[in-house]
Amino acid sequence: MVRVGILGATGYTAAELLRILLRHPHVRVTVATSRQQRTRIDQVHPALRGRIDLWCEDLSPEAVAERADCVFCALPHGASFSVVPALVERGCRVIDLSADYRLHDAAVYREWYGLEHGDPQRLGEAVYGLPELPVRRARITDARLIANPGCYTSTSILALAPLVAGGHVRREGIVIDAKSGVSGAGRTPKPHTLFCECNESVSAYAVGRHRHTPEIEQELSEVAGAAVQVVFTPHLMPMDRGILATIYTDPLTDRTETQWLDLYREYYRGSPFVRVTEALPATKDVAGTNFFDVTVRRHSGKLVVLACLDNLIKGAAGVAVQNFNLMYGFEETTALL
Amino acid sequence: MVRVGILGATGYTAAELLRILLRHPHVRVTVATSRQQRTRIDQVHPALRGRIDLWCEDLSPEAVAERADCVFCALPHGASFSVVPALVERGCRVIDLSADYRLHDAAVYREWYGLEHGDPQRLGEAVYGLPELPVRRARITDARLIANPGCYTSTSILALAPLVAGGHVRREGIVIDAKSGVSGAGRTPKPHTLFCECNESVSAYAVGRHRHTPEIEQELSEVAGAAVQVVFTPHLMPMDRGILATIYTDPLTDRTETQWLDLYREYYRGSPFVRVTEALPATKDVAGTNFFDVTVRRHSGKLVVLACLDNLIKGAAGVAVQNFNLMYGFEETTALL
Amino acid sequence: MVRVGILGATGYTAAELLRILLRHPHVRVTVATSRQQRTRIDQVHPALRGRIDLWCEDLSPEAVAERADCVFCALPHGASFSVVPALVERGCRVIDLSADYRLHDAAVYREWYGLEHGDPQRLGEAVYGLPELPVRRARITDARLIANPGCYTSTSILALAPLVAGGHVRREGIVIDAKSGVSGAGRTPKPHTLFCECNESVSAYAVGRHRHTPEIEQELSEVAGAAVQVVFTPHLMPMDRGILATIYTDPLTDRTETQWLDLYREYYRGSPFVRVTEALPATKDVAGTNFFDVTVRRHSGKLVVLACLDNLIKGAAGVAVQNFNLMYGFEETTALL
Amino acid sequence: MVRVGILGATGYTAAELLRILLRHPHVRVTVATSRQQRTRIDQVHPALRGRIDLWCEDLSPEAVAERADCVFCALPHGASFSVVPALVERGCRVIDLSADYRLHDAAVYREWYGLEHGDPQRLGEAVYGLPELPVRRARITDARLIANPGCYTSTSILALAPLVAGGHVRREGIVIDAKSGVSGAGRTPKPHTLFCECNESVSAYAVGRHRHTPEIEQELSEVAGAAVQVVFTPHLMPMDRGILATIYTDPLTDRTETQWLDLYREYYRGSPFVRVTEALPATKDVAGTNFFDVTVRRHSGKLVVLACLDNLIKGAAGVAVQNFNLMYGFEETTALL
């Protein structure tokens, strides 16, 4: 039984983590932290009433390390790098769901997050936790610190990896038009995430400056073995959860749609959460699951990739538990089907 | 006072038409038709209770022509070309909201709609009713038959016209990623427009084969004076109304965002329903109005155009009344603000 | 042309007020105030872009009084009674959309709002602005200060007035089960009005202690000429706007449904915004309008009244303009159809 | 391993059943039927892609009985009683999710469903499958035929059973104001369940004549040992799933809210899916779960009960599996947490 701690237990991602971990036969959640709210977990997340008897506490990382073997860190970026070092040094294995350890380069972090990174030496050590990428998967098993990927990032990388890995598309000017539910914006009240602002509305935001951009390019470049450049545009959709990415690429080789799909199936052979489909994917079909659905269409000279996942699960809490399973030698799908 | 008839009065577009026309000081709606339902208009459209005392009738075009000076035809494609000739021949001016008279070429119509056009000789006579296009506006005033544009089409054309008119972007490979509310799919019950199928879901549909594609290309090519080719992908959003198009172009000239916006402002000078904005547009801000909002962003070498309108109003009923106003010499904004 | 000012111009109600007043042929909006935001109105309300050239200012009531003949006060309760006296004393006519002048009794105000009323002497002077109530309508014409009714309140009172006026139902134990869209909760970010909290959820709130309760009882008691007691339960629905009240009464007289409907029709004869319907009302049919729809059903010994309106319009901004029209002798429906 | 069959496998309830049963360690789904669609299950329910390899077949009950030990019958009312006899006679245990075996009296069935019951002699044998009712639970274990309760019914009965069992409230004039998501209306396309009809709208329907009424009264009367009469009003909410019932009763005994809650806790001791809460319940907190949440409020002389569940799970597929678990001696919560 692995003793698990959750830092930042009041957000939507933490709620999903708890829901999943409560189904995990080899996990006991022993500690949950919050700076603001010292209440029972089920008062913060009423959906968990009757499922868990735990309080949110305001604890130091040292205190957490005494009660947990593995810590899921669901803090905001900038807060993670202040607590992760103490956890790792005390022997905890850490799965960090913030952006703090995703980028390899502290200068890029500073540029996009406007912060000096507080733990830059550990950037090289952290393993980017996208287990479907062969280059990442091998290292996850032994990782002490996982940088859990962003939601837009996972969608985009998984959608493009088979193409850029084989050099099948132009590596520049890849258009990623992504549509997300509102839960990705978090639970802190802000004007633009009020019901009456989001409901019955669709809009783009952060055009050209969304922070998942360098993460997408970093990982895809590693997969490709050469620089990949994307045009990433996120949009807010009036729904709770789900991301659909519609991706426009310029193919360099000529294949039928069936052949393209076969290429995806081959690349993701052995990945239990990737579903290569012939039908057009819909976010509803992955909502509440750890699945990633993807298809392709040839269209007016472009190769269009359509892909979706649940941003809170495959895009956050689910892949975190998937990484956890690999780290501890459990069946990869444990608690995730 | 113009006597107005509405053919196909039971759908969502007709409801909007009626709502707008009831505010029009120079209009009297004298006749409404439906093949299926012979009920009071306000039973079909309860929102209009107390506003209008009219029944849906199953009438021949000849009978309609006796009671109306101008006819808005809100029938499905394939049905319009069966009634429009009789109306026009009897002296009615017709604003056809179907796709039947939008394409200049009967062969293109056959290819995309799978039908032999029943009135091909009138394709040349019909005026494409997008009054913001200088080349169209002049002819609308005297038109006897208006082909009212499609909703995706208007969004796409208005978003791109200033760019292709001046040769400012590459004319090939223009990516139009469009997101629409469900009302665009009409009021006939179909499995995919059920609440529980659309709600909390986002998906693409008809990738590479949506019928608004040839219409977009036809009009933009005319504006450009040379062939324009687009990659158009429609998506269904969980909301009633609104279309947002995110359009990715390759700029051929170098300008700042401010200069691009000025180019739009200049092109649409005198167009009361076009709002060139600095902020990113949201469908909510145009819902229920005849406005078209547009902005641009330079982003990773692309010039991204973001544009939206209400598919039932500026994308259908509203622009129809705007055309009507121009045809009859009324103030362009009458009943539309 | 009446010069109109709006205090508290950044909320949802103010947006509706502006939208309606921009259509009013006899109104010029000359001043808009906000304590927080000194921005252009159309930056706060992007839907109004291109419609109005006005800035939010932080002004004293004295300064407002110099630029406006009539002031719509859309401030929170507790803020209105601080500015209304200065406005009235300088000759402005005031339509107050807060709760501050609705209750006749300062002690009841203190009990329900937890505040000492700052202008108790004016409670008797203010006219409760529900023009469909004969007793109120007469006084609205000459009023200097209108207490514009609450949204739940209008729905409940209009649904019950014909019954209690004639003594047709028991005056105790009237169950009002009310369902409201989220816009009624205002535009200030709060945890419970976030999209992801409201969407896909239905719940009751403030059971037994909602502040519209004393207002409903006060007005119905006046209509009845004897104390009326209600059991009022509000619920939050996942939609922008609209209130549906399902009301359970014990009839004291025996009538058919048709006879009950006739009683309603008779009571509301001459009320252009009340629609007595045979069909069950739906909030969608009144959304965006100033209509109030109502029907009745006999059911298991109860007389069930079902009624709805748009909380931002007939429940707030629309009835405010209706009152304005009556105060200034304009046609009651001006700018409201 | 129990071999399970599902009749009527294309609807929303069947999708939930499959999702739950795929998690059940002692179940193998061996057969699924549909009259219309002979396609793979995951084409009908794309969310199940990669989870199940099964086709919908059009089979006789005899053929089904050869391949299944237990059959979940998710057919419409009127269709169930045509196939259940053959299944039961061949030794299958049947959990019928239609209304066909819920009412004890064929005359009542005829009155409310407008059909002559085709298998009236089995009405007495079928066990009403609400395991939280002590009187029902005992018989479920040995049942050959379970009449799985309706969704509104379960909500109403569970909310009221503790009160009527002890004679704590008046048994007449109990007002049940119920609000439901749209999935309760099924997957067959109908005009009133289109997205654009339901979205942004709230309305009552079938006032005084909803078919769950006799079922509620039958079961509550049995619990009370005397006739219980309710005023039941269903409403449609713009959301996928969830029912909230707000119930107004006249208490006959005097207790504090805490004492009322204790009474509920005592009644439901040992019921793992009932959560008696102090906070007001919200449908979101039970969505996707088999929980039933309930609280009470004293309010203006009434005792108000507020209760909710997920109509597709605790109101249909979940309670069906709960019954299945009891029938086969599995842990009651298997596959349901």
- Tell me the pLDDT tens digit for each residue of C259-301: 999 999 999 999 999 999 999 999 999 999 999 999 999 998 9
The residue that leads in pLDDT, A68 or C124, is A68
- Contact of B46 with chain D, judged by CB distance below 8 Å, is answered with no
Decide if A184 is inside a domain. Answer: yes
- Contact of D173 with chain C, judged by CB distance below 8 Å, is answered with yes
Summary count for chain B: helices (H), strands (E): 11, 14
Q: How many domains does chain B have?
A: 2
Look at residue C261 and give its three-state secondary structure.
helix
Which DSSP string corresponds to A216-285? HHHHHHHHHTS---EEEEEEE-SSSS-EEEEEEE-BSS---HHHHHHHHHHHTTT-TTEEE-SSPPBGGG
Please, which residues have CB within 8 angstroms of residue A63's CB and are 6 or more apart in sequence?
none
What pLDDT score was predicted for residue A37? Answer: 81
- Record the tokens describing residue A168, joined without a space: 């099948």
Phi and psi for C176 in degrees, rounded to 5? -115, 105
Band of residue B37 on the pLDDT scale cut at 50, 70, 90: confident
Nearest Cα to Cα of residue C156 among C296, C306, C273, C312: C306
pTM of the model: 0.97
Decide if C86 is inside a domain. Answer: yes
Same domain? D279 vs D245: yes
Using CB atoms, pick whichever of A203, A233, A280 lies closest to residue B204: A280
Rounded to the nearest integer, the mean pLDDT of chain A is: 97
Decide if A327 is inside a domain. Answer: no
Please, which residues have CB within 8 angstroms of residue C79's CB and are 6 or more apart in sequence?
C8, C98
Q: Is there a catalytic annotation at residue A151?
A: yes
Cβ neighbours of A251 (radius 10 Å): 16
Same domain? C25 vs C90: yes
Look at residue A182 and give its three-state secondary structure.
helix
What pLDDT score was predicted for residue A135? Answer: 86
Using CB atoms, pick whichever of A194, A238, A239 lies closest to residue C194: A194
- How confident is the model over C101-124, as a mean pLDDT? 96
Decide if A143 is inside a domain. Answer: no
Using CB atoms, pick whichever of A181, A200, A229 lies closest to residue B240: A200
Same domain? D115 vs D237: no
- Record the tokens describing residue B66, joined without a space: 């006796």
Decide if A316 is inside a domain. Answer: no
With a cut of 90, say whether residue C135 has pLDDT above it.
no
B233 contact residues in A (CB cutoff 8 A): 246, 299, 304
| Interface mutation vs chain B, best among C273, C289, C310, most B CBs within 10 Å | C289
Residue for token digits 């005297």?
B142
CB–CB of B27/B1 below 8 Å? Answer: yes
B301 contact residues in A (CB cutoff 8 A): 172-173, 231
CATH of the domain at D51: 3.40.50.720
Phi and psi for A166 in degrees, rounded to 5? -95, 5
Of the residues A70, A92, A151, A308, only one is catalytic, namely A151
CB–CB of D10/D55 below 8 Å? Answer: no
What pLDDT score was predicted for residue C283? Answer: 98
Q: Do C284 and B47 touch (CB under 8 A)?
A: yes
Phi and psi for A292 in degrees, rounded to 5? -120, 120
Same domain? C73 vs C160: no
Decide if A334 is inside a domain. Answer: no
- Record the tokens describing residue C105, joined without a space: 């009794």
Helix-helix angle B151-165:B257-267, to 10 degrees: 110
Decide if D69 is inside a domain. Answer: yes
How far apart CA C194 and CA C276 sit, in angstroms, is: 35
Look at residue C324 and give its three-state secondary structure.
helix
How far apart CA D64 and CA D183 sit, in angstroms, is: 27
Residue for token digits 């959820």?
C201
Q: Do D195 and B189 touch (CB under 8 A)?
A: no
Give how far Cα D267 sits from Cα of A177, D165, D333, Å.
Answer: 54, 9, 19
Please report the ipTM that was assigned to this predicted complex. Answer: 0.97
Decide if D134 is inside a domain. Answer: no
Looking at the complex, report in whole angstroms how far the Cα of residue D236 sits from the nearest Cα belonging to chain B.
12
B277 contact residues in C (CB cutoff 8 A): 46, 49
Looking at the complex, report in whole angstroms how far the Cα of residue B119 sits from the nearest Cα belonging to chain A.
30
With a cut of 90, say whether residue A41 has pLDDT above it.
yes
Q: Which helix (H) or strand (E) holds D152?
A: helix D151-165
Look at residue B239 and give its three-state secondary structure.
coil
- How confident is the model over B289-309, as a mean pLDDT? 97
Same domain? A115 vs A185: no
Q: Do A199 and B239 touch (CB under 8 A)?
A: yes
CB–CB of C273/C132 below 8 Å? Answer: yes
- Tell me the pLDDT tens digit for each residue of B143-187: 999 999 999 999 999 999 999 999 999 999 999 999 999 999 999
What pLDDT score was predicted for residue D36? Answer: 84
Same domain? B119 vs B163: no
Phi and psi for B237 in degrees, rounded to 5? -110, 150
With a cut of 90, say whether residue C37 has pLDDT above it.
no
- Strand-pairing partners, residue B232, are B176
* Proportion of chain D above pLDDT 70, given as a percent: 100
- Record the tokens describing residue D285, joined without a space: 């907190």
Same domain? C290 vs C198: yes
Same domain? B99 vs B198: no
Same domain? A303 vs A156: yes
Rounded to the nearest integer, the mean pLDDT of chain C is: 97
How far apart CA B130 and CA D54 sit, in angstroms, is: 51
What pLDDT score was predicted for residue B290? Answer: 98
- How confident is the model over D47-64, as a mean pLDDT? 96
How far apart CA B18 and CA B36 sit, in angstroms, is: 19
With a cut of 90, say whether residue D316 has pLDDT above it.
yes
Look at residue D264 and give its three-state secondary structure.
helix
Same domain? A7 vs A70: yes
Same domain? C97 vs C226: no
CA geometry: angle at D237 spanning D233 and D238, to 5°?
165
- Tell me the pLDDT tens digit for each residue of A256-313: 999 999 999 999 999 999 999 999 999 999 999 999 999 999 998 999 999 999 999 9
How far apart CA C7 and CA C74 sit, in angstroms, is: 6
* Proportion of chain C above pLDDT 70, given as a percent: 100
- Contact of A197 with chain B, judged by CB distance below 8 Å, is answered with yes
Torsion angle in degrees (nearest 10) through CA of A5, A9, A13, A16: 70
Same domain? D181 vs D294: yes
How far apart CA B82 and CA B73 sit, in angstroms, is: 11
Parent domain of D257: 151-310
Q: For chain A, first and last CA: distance in Å?
A: 20
How far apart CA D291 and CA D313 sit, in angstroms, is: 9
- How confident is the model over A42-46, as a mean pLDDT? 96
CB–CB of B244/B190 below 8 Å? Answer: no
Residue where one domain finishes, among candidates C90, C125, C160: C125
Please, which residues have CB within 8 angstroms of residue D63's CB and are 6 or more apart in sequence?
none
Using CB atoms, pick whichever of A187, A238, A239 lies closest to residue C194: A187
How far apart CA B101 and CA B125 sit, in angstroms, is: 9
With a cut of 90, say whether residue C36 has pLDDT above it.
no
Phi and psi for C46 in degrees, rounded to 5? -60, -20
With a cut of 90, say whether residue B226 has pLDDT above it.
yes
- Record the tokens describing residue A148, joined without a space: 């859990």
CATH of the domain at A266: 3.30.360.10
Q: How far is CA C276 from the centre of its chain?
A: 19
CB–CB of C250/C170 below 8 Å? Answer: yes
- Tell me the pLDDT tens digit for each residue of D118-145: 999 999 999 999 999 998 999 999 999 9
State which amino acid sits at residue B41. I
CB–CB of D73/D12 below 8 Å? Answer: no
With a cut of 90, say whether residue B98 has pLDDT above it.
yes
CB–CB of C274/C283 below 8 Å? Answer: no
- Tell me the pLDDT tens digit for each residue of A11-21: 999 999 999 99
Rounded to the nearest integer, the mean pLDDT of chain D is: 97
